[in-house]
């Protein structure tokens, strides 16, 4: 099925062989290389996840980059955050990541990273796409770029996580946590077992093979984590961790084998950071700031505000959240899909950082995962997808009329909010669908909000 190429702020994704081809990858890689070179820094870091199409697209990307005189640093199969950190480490002009993240195996994608290690913003992303459309100038035989490998990027990533002052590594090691792990045969196998070993954990693992043949749908949502839940119960693990293929999202399973939902990942990471810093106040004594996207659960907002932090919401998308984190000087941020962004490490979603923060929280609070959940306010989230349609503006208008008593936010689709509940309707940037996400005190109330939106969409 041809869904068409999906273009986002800082990249594009599609079905391999129909929407996404080696020719397209070569052209856009060349455009990124030319963009970096024009800015005065022709070095581009390249990395990918384990998808079977990755090797093909990596060769295509290297050809495109070399053809415009870019110097390529090839990391091979590594997590997305490892590439972002490597861009900073090498002081590169750009980074290119070949991964479709949580999408099914038939998908792949290009993610474009700027010299600061953060995904390109809308302006720079548009500039690279425009350059790809026009066709960048190629160099002659004497100007062709070179390729060199960096095999130490993952080791550096682990070292950087363990060096974070917010993480009490020795305390975590003293607990000798029993951990279950599911890496979905993605890039997580390159880093997660080694990180857990360095943290003194006893690990039972599944799907560590790095071959891209995903044994389950790769998005780490509760309905996909039944096997990990069984592993937790069978091994007596105290916590289960699951990642997506490029290791920027982290999901948790409690000690009873129950997947608790991705929003708790960020909520617990926020607790770990604000708890470690006391009030978490900034250098000027002001209240700390926590940033999450418009679709993130109230459980994250509650974790922030109950610790005295200011909570800000950004449009969905890592590039948007990163921009808000930088603008507000946030101490932590992320997205409710399990993406933890801790700027003291780097301003990108990073599952290894999230894992270390959560183990720190378990060690310092002496609570179980289920105990942490029980201590948090309870909400129910309902998520639905409907086929994408072109003109959503009239639908947004009808919804605002229907829910005139709600606080409306139209920065990214339409979010309607009331005290203790909200609904968010927006076109996905990763799939050809419209997402409807609602949260309320009960699942019935959340389902009612989704149903109301469906009725307006179908009218």
- Exposure of 419 by Cβ count < 10 A (0-12 exposed, 13-18 middle, 19+ buried)? exposed
Helices marked H in 112-222? 122-134, 153-162, 169-175, 192-198
Residue 338 φ then ψ, to 5°:
95, 10
Tell me the C-alpha distance between 145 and 71, whole Å.
5
Tell me the C-alpha distance between 458 and 399, whole Å.
12
Relative to beta strand 178-182, strand 94-98 is unpaired
Within 8 A by CB and 6+ apart from 371, the residues are 365
Greatest CA separation for the chain: 67
Are the beta carbons of 157 and 82 closer than 8 angstroms? Answer: yes
Q: CA 164: distance to chain centroid?
A: 20
Query: 117: closest CA among 146, 151, 65, 160?
Result: 160
Are the beta carbons of 107 and 14 closer than 8 angstroms? Answer: yes
Quickly tell me which residue has 């003293």 as its tokens: 174
Tell me the C-alpha distance between 359 and 239, whole Å.
9
Active site residue: 50, 101, 295, 297, which one?
101
| 451 classed as catalytic | no
Tell me the C-alpha distance between 99 and 13, whole Å.
9
Are the beta carbons of 146 and 71 closer than 8 angstroms? Answer: yes
Tell me the C-alpha distance between 32 and 92, whole Å.
12
Are the beta carbons of 271 and 307 closer than 8 angstroms? Answer: yes
CA-atom Rg of the chain in angstroms? 21
- Exposure of 139 by Cβ count < 10 A (0-12 exposed, 13-18 middle, 19+ buried)? middle
Catalytic residue list: 101
């Amino acid at each position: 099925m041809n869904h068409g190429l999906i273009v986002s702020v800082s990249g594009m994704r599609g079905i391999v062989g129909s929407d996404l081809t080696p020719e397209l990858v070569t052209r856009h890689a060349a455009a990124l290389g030319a963009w970096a070179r024009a800015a005065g820094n022709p070095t581009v870091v390249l990395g990918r996840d384990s998808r079977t199409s990755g090797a093909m697209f990596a060769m295509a990307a290297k050809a495109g980059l070399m053809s415009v005189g870019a110097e390529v640093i090839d990391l091979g199969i590594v997590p997305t955050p490892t590439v972002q950190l490597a861009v900073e480490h090498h002081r590169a002009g750009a980074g290119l990541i070949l991964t479709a993240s949580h999408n099914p195996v038939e998908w792949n994608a290009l993610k474009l990273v700027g010299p600061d290690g953060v995904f390109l913003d809308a302006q720079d992303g548009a500039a690279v796409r425009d350059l790809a459309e026009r066709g960048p100038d190629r160099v002659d035989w004497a100007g062709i770029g070179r390729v060199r490998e960096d095999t130490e990027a993952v080791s550096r990533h682990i070292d950087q996580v363990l060096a974070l002052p917010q993480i009490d590594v020795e305390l975590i090691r003293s607990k000798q946590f029993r951990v279950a792990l599911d890496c979905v045969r993605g890039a997580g196998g390159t880093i997660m077992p080694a990180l857990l070993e360095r943290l003194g954990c006893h690990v039972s693992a599944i799907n560590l093979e790095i071959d891209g043949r995903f044994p389950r749908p790769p998005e780490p949502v509760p309905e996909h984590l039944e096997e990990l839940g069984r592993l937790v119960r069978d091994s007596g693990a105290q916590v289960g961790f699951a990642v997506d293929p490029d290791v920027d999202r982290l999901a948790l399973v409690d000690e009873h084998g129950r997947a608790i939902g991705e929003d708790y990942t960020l909520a617990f990471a926020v607790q770990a950071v604000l708890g470690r810093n006391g009030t978490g106040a900034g250098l000027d004594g002001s209240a700390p700031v926590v940033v999450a996207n418009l679709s993130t659960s109230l459980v994250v907002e509650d974790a922030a505000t109950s610790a005295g932090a200011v909570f800000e919401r950004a449009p969905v998308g890592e590039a948007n959240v990163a921009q808000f984190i930088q603008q507000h000087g946030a101490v932590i941020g992320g997205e409710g899909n399990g993406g933890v962004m801790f700027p003291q490490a780097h301003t990108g979603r990073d599952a290894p950082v999230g894992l270390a923060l959560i183990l720190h929280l378990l060690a310092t609070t002496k609570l179980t995962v289920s105990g942490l959940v029980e201590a948090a306010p309870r909400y129910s989230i309902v998520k639905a997808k409907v086929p994408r349609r072109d003109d959503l503006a009239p639908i947004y208008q009808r919804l605002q009329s229907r829910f005139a008593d709600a606080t409306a936010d139209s920065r990214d689709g339409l979010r309607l909010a009331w005290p203790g509940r909200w609904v968010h309707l927006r076109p996905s940037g990763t799939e050809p669908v419209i997402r409807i996400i609602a949260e309320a005190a009960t699942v019935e109330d959340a389902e009612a909000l989704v149903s109301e939106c469906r009725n307006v969409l179908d009218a």
